[in-house]
Amino acid sequence: MKDMSDKGLLIVGEELCQQLVGRRDAFDAVEAVFGAMARGDAYNFPVIREAIGYADALYGFKSGFDRAGQVLGLKSGGYWPGNMDKGLTNHQSTVFLFDPDTGKLAALVGGNYLTAVRTAASSAVSIAHLARKDSKVLGMVGAGHQSAFQLRAAAEQRDFEKVVAWNPHPEMLPRLGEVANEIGLEFEAISQEQLGAQADVIITITSAFEPLLMKDWIKPGTHLACMGTDTKGKQEVDAALVASATVFTDEIAQSISLGEAQHAVVDGTLNEERIIPIGAVINGDHPGRTSADEVTLFDGTGVGLQDLAVASVAARLAEEGGHAQRAVL
């Protein structure tokens, strides 16, 4: 966020972010920053996430610097479980962008919509680079807030004909079915085993703490994007499935400590050296999928640089369009 701080602090609210940042913008920003991370041009700093002992809230910071894109900042926020009753979403976050030349606060950007759109962009980038070109069936495990964003972004990556879905709370599935139908895709709620047998691409986006998909249910050539596991102890798929797949991730340090790979690493069936940064595939330094039968798995843990990348797009578009508010600090 260079050259803006002298004009005053830019404020880009949630509504404006929704109007300005589309799926294509998010995809391009996330793909570019994953590439920059793999080249060593962009760094995430250690994440802080703490239970604050008040309102059952989890609060924290994700921060980083993208030297290539000249984006410095942090996302701050977390999870307030009581918010629903107050008419607010439980996840709340705000992105702070600083001028990397001076450290001056340059922009405040709403982070709620951007978190969903950047997480969906992450799995979409993995599908674009790793899924078989002839993938026809998209499997969705999860039907919460993020799932609709995931479905819309994934649907743009291949010529899918059908969506099959399973969720531990089946009453949530019809809403996801409406999204699939809205974008012209057939939708069917099926069992976990049937989903594994039918899907060419599977996205998992739940808050699970135990495996929902087992290795033997998945057919050869499947691409999985495991997006829900972003904390120590969480787990969405069988560790044996992770260990047997070719594993890619946004950031290896997070993948082994709080991502889907954590369990296979702990039980010794997956070695850290076998995990490939997706940025290496984006940069052309790794071939990605090498056969039609290979199971590829993307461990999308969610990094601060993704938030900063999409927030800087929001700030730039707001600036260019003359939409954003300004304030003097």
Residues interacting with ligand NAD, by CB under 6 A? 115, 119, 142-147, 167-169, 172, 205-209, 227-228, 230, 300-302
Say if strands 137-141 and 162-166 run parallel, antiparallel, or are unpaired: parallel
Cβ closest to ligand NAD, residue 72 vs residue 176: 176
Do you know the residue count of the chain?
329
Both tokens of residue 91? 């996840």
H or E element, residue 269: none
CB of 96 to ligand NAD, least distance (A): 19
CB of 227 to ligand NAD, least distance (A): 5
Q: Taking each helix axis from N to C terminus, what angle separates 304-321 and 112-130, rounded to the nearest 10 degrees?
A: 110
Q: How far is residue 61's CA from residue 38's CA, in Å, rounded to a whole number?
A: 22
Cβ closest to ligand NAD, residue 38 vs residue 121: 121
* Options 75, 86, 104, 133, the catalytic residue: 75
Cβ closest to ligand NAD, residue 5 vs residue 122: 122
Cβ closest to ligand NAD, residue 24 vs residue 169: 169
CB of 13 to ligand NAD, least distance (A): 20
Cβ neighbours of residue 210 closer than 8 Å, sequence gap 6 or more = 235
Closest CB to ligand NAD belongs to which residue?
Answer: 144
Q: What is the DSSP letter of 199?
A: -
Cβ closest to ligand NAD, residue 106 vs residue 114: 114
Both tokens of residue 94? 């705000």
Which DSSP string do the residues of 162-176 spell out, in sequence order? EEEEE-SSGGGHHHH
Say if strands 91-98 and 105-110 run parallel, antiparallel, or are unpaired: antiparallel
CB of 122 to ligand NAD, least distance (A): 6
CB of 49 to ligand NAD, least distance (A): 11
Q: How far is residue 36's CA from residue 283's CA, in Å, rounded to a whole number?
A: 9
Cβ closest to ligand NAD, residue 126 vs residue 222: 126
Instruction: Give me the sign of the Cα torsion angle 22, 27, 33, 37.
Output: positive
Q: How far is residue 87's CA from residue 35's CA, in Å, rounded to a whole number?
A: 38
Is 75 considered catalytic here? yes
CB of 21 to ligand NAD, least distance (A): 16
Q: How far is residue 121's CA from residue 116's CA, in Å, rounded to a whole number?
A: 9
Cβ closest to ligand NAD, residue 110 vs residue 300: 300
Q: How far is residue 254's CA from residue 309's CA, in Å, rounded to a whole number?
A: 18
CB of 254 to ligand NAD, least distance (A): 9
**80 neighbors 296 (Cβ within 8 angstroms):** no
Say if strands 71-79 and 58-66 run parallel, antiparallel, or are unpaired: antiparallel
Q: Is 50 left (phi over 0), alpha (psi -120 to 50) or beta?
A: beta
Active site amino acids: 75
